[in-house]
Amino acid sequence: MEKKVVKIKGLEIPVYSLNTVVLGSGAAGLNCAVHLVLNGQKDIAIVTEDLYGGTSRNAGSDKQTYYKLSLSGAAVDSPYEMAKTLFSCGAMHGDIALVEATLSAQEFFHLVQIGVPFPHDQYGGYVGYKTDHDPRQRGTSAGPMTSWHMHERLLKQVKDLGISIFDRYEAVSLFMHKGSVVGFLCLDRERLEEDNYGAALFNCTNLVFATGGPAVLFKASVYPEAQRGSTGLAFEIGAKGRNLSEWQYGLASLKFRWNVSGSYQQVVPTYVSIGKDGGDEKEFLNELFPSVGKLATCIFLKGYQWPFDARRITDYGSSLIDLLVHRENVALGRRVFVDFRRNITGFRFEDLEPEAHEYLKRSGVLFGTPFERLQKMNQPAIQLYADHGIDLGREPLEVAVCAQHNNGGLVGNIWWESNIKHLFPVGEANGSHGVYRPGGSALNAGQVGGYRAAQFIAARYWKGPPSVNSFLRMVKPAIEEKLGIFSDIVEGERVGALAPDKVRSAIQERMTTYAAHIRSPKGVRTALREAYELRNGLKKRLAISSGRELLNALRVIELATTHVVYLEGIRAYLERGGASRGSYIVLDPEGLCPSEMLGREWYFRPFDDALMNESSQVWLNKDGKVETEWVSVRPIPTEEGWFENVWEQYRKGEII
């Protein structure tokens, strides 16, 4: 890595030149950095706005799952069988599914070798369990904070390898030249009030885009507050988004953001709601189910049917609970709590349906309150909340249906390279998933994607960056324009000015209201009209009081672009006749009735798999207008590799 200071618009700005920058420091980005060095490419650095602030470091569940090939006992499995599971989730490319399946064992064992404490039996077998959308038992876990362990051990490996880290540097603009990304501009968060705004330029051959999903899009969100995402920066240079309509939503706690899944539901807690004034407490679910036994079984099933699912609403499916919680929150303006201190009124173990009763019996918890059952089944799940000041044995837990994961994201090929050359989105920033996905597959996809990007860069894109002078000739006009925006925001006077925080809140409110798990064509059209009105001219309407607030202003500009593109992705799906699927329903007064106790305003289009073999792509053209297209998904490759031929291709470097 070389450093040179240049002067642009009278400002002195450092330029760092190197082969590859990993932008972001989650588990996917760290893994990519490690594999770059292990594959021989050492001219790299990690640039991150907060080394310890992303989803990997701060998210989890009762038993956070890692999804991989079966690796114990007599389980019959193969990469092709796992690929079929991933591919069957709809709108996913088969070749990417095969890559994720094939390399799942390799990257899992990499984590094992660096110290992530995945449990194994006395024979060395990494036993598994069934997770959502999983026909086998491929799930494993290192506990509630599996991804924390991954981040901790990968970060140690990064430091042991001596990889340079620029912490608290936030990217604000990517630069492209002739179809390839060539670098980016970021601001040092410790130097925002200096004359150059803390600006730093990175001149690089490759950019690994590991900034996570757009975590601040929704008001109701279980993403950690430190996670933000920067997808809009990639959209601004023409990167294509894929399956942007596809998200995962589920019940989560609000005081401390955490998925209320697994054991938290399997112990069958009581759901209550209260009015805005804190009174009128009631067990609101009881009146909407035909029996206490059916309700209790439904709550139990939420444990491993945690994501809101359009196919699990009618006939008292487990996702009816999510819909009723949302109705209580939004339509009725009430707060909802999960109470572990007491059983549902009228609850009896013998009324549970066989699946739930057998599970609790084998777990030895046919006794006591939900809290007492949770103590025996999963004490760490209780301790997790205790560590954040919440005693589940003394207080109820406030919950809502929250955005949890973006199954869509940026387009990438089987080496995780975007349609923009030399740009490699990895982790949640990459839209490799389909409509559904097995629980824990995101952790695997991030590790595999990081490895594949590193493998390709080391083999094909190993050359150094252009000279600083050549770099500046390519990007200087774009840099000058961006610096002009900075000074205008910091120094300009505004009439009817907008504060960045208010803009962000408006975007989040809009997305939660119109683009979360409850959608309608009319609502999305309304949201888009409002979104374009906000985005157009936003740069000239933002006002801040000091340079310290510049980043907040730039973040909402990026977020305004992001939410327009995502809303266009949703509109493209609905205008193609898309029905309820995945983790959302499309309201339709002529559709299915979710419950006889609910009015026609809650009827919805039934699940339809007509578009499961297609994938939507959305992007901004050179004029800043949104374009969309639909492509057929690629099938799972079925050719049988003949060893001698593959060996020859491998020796000649033809595989990559």
Residue 445 and residue 277 in contact, taking contact as beta carbons nearer than 8 Å: no
| Whether residue 503 sits in one domain with residue 393 | no
Residue 582 and residue 533 in contact, taking contact as beta carbons nearer than 8 Å: no
β-strand partners of 319? none
Each residue of 92-120: pLDDT tens digit? 999 999 999 999 999 999 999 999 999 99
The number of beta carbons lying within 10 Å of the beta carbon of residue 596 is: 7
**Residue 596 sits in a domain of what CATH number?**
1.20.58.100
End position of a domain, from candidates 360, 380, 404:
404
Does some domain include residue 258? yes
| C-alpha span between 578 and 571 (Å, rounded) | 9
Q: What is the dihedral of CA 620, 621, 626, 632, to 10 degrees?
A: -90
Residue 329 and residue 313 in contact, taking contact as beta carbons nearer than 8 Å: no
Residue 63 and residue 484 in contact, taking contact as beta carbons nearer than 8 Å: no
Each residue of 392-412: pLDDT tens digit? 999 999 999 999 999 999 999
Does some domain include residue 426? no
The SS3 assignment for 561 reads helix
The runs of H, that is alpha helices, within 267-386 are 292-301, 319-326, 354-362, 370-377, 379-386
| Whether residue 522 sits in one domain with residue 384 | no
* Averaged pLDDT, 413-431: 98
Least confident residue range of 53-67, 344-358, 437-451, 453-467: 53-67
| Whether residue 259 sits in one domain with residue 375 | yes
pLDDT at residue 654 tops 80: yes
DSSP letters of 130-162? --TT-SS--EEESSTTHHHHHHHHHHHHHHHTT
β-strand partners of 649? none
pLDDT at residue 266 tops 90: yes
496 falls in which pLDDT band (50, 70, 90)?
low
Strand ranges, E, within 232-328: 241-242, 247-253, 258-259, 270-274
* Averaged pLDDT, 462-489: 95
| Whether residue 511 sits in one domain with residue 392 | no
Query: What's the pLDDT at 497?
Result: 80
Residue-range definition of the domain harbouring residue 540:
494-611
Tokens of 116: 């992530």
Does some domain include residue 177? no
Of residues 434 and 641, more confidently modeled: 434
* Averaged pLDDT, 310-315: 96
End position of a domain, from candidates 404, 434, 462:
404
| C-alpha span between 4 and 141 (Å, rounded) | 46
Least confident residue range of 36-40, 245-249, 446-450, 649-653: 649-653
135 closest CA partner among 277, 304, 315:
304
| Whether residue 400 sits in one domain with residue 258 | yes
| Whether residue 510 sits in one domain with residue 382 | no
485 closest CA partner among 420, 558, 423, 563:
558
Tokens of 383: 């301790």
pLDDT at residue 495 tops 70: no
| C-alpha span between 341 and 394 (Å, rounded) | 7
Does some domain include residue 147? no
**Residue 321 sits in a domain of what CATH number?**
3.90.700
| C-alpha span between 256 and 381 (Å, rounded) | 13
Each residue of 595-616: pLDDT tens digit? 988 999 999 999 999 999 999 9
Does some domain include residue 384? yes
| Whether residue 384 sits in one domain with residue 261 | yes
Does some domain include residue 114? no
| C-alpha span between 498 and 321 (Å, rounded) | 38
| C-alpha span between 655 and 376 (Å, rounded) | 51
493 falls in which pLDDT band (50, 70, 90)?
low
| C-alpha span between 54 and 148 (Å, rounded) | 10
* Averaged pLDDT, 67-77: 93
Does some domain include residue 156? no
Each residue of 143-191: pLDDT tens digit? 989 999 999 999 999 999 999 999 999 999 999 999 999 999 999 999 9
Residue 160 and residue 168 in contact, taking contact as beta carbons nearer than 8 Å: no
Least confident residue range of 301-305, 346-350, 375-379, 489-493: 489-493
Query: What's the pLDDT at 646?
Result: 93
| Whether residue 511 sits in one domain with residue 376 | no
Compute the Cα dihedral for 198, 483, 426, 164 and give only its sign. Answer: negative
End position of a domain, from candidates 591, 611, 631:
611
pLDDT at residue 441 tops 90: yes
| C-alpha span between 386 and 371 (Å, rounded) | 13
| Whether residue 287 sits in one domain with residue 385 | yes
* Domain count along the chain: 2
The runs of H, that is alpha helices, within 41-140 are 55-58, 79-87, 94-102, 104-113
Tokens of 136: 């086998």
Does some domain include residue 282? yes
* Averaged pLDDT, 301-311: 93
pLDDT at residue 480 tops 70: yes
Query: What's the pLDDT at 63?
Result: 86
315 falls in which pLDDT band (50, 70, 90)?
very high
| C-alpha span between 251 and 322 (Å, rounded) | 7
pTM: 0.96
pLDDT at residue 492 tops 80: no
Query: What's the pLDDT at 132?
Result: 84
110-to-72, 113, 241, 448 alpha-carbon distances in Å: 17, 5, 30, 11
444: burial class by Cβ within 10 Å (0-12, 13-18, 19+)? Answer: buried
546 falls in which pLDDT band (50, 70, 90)?
confident
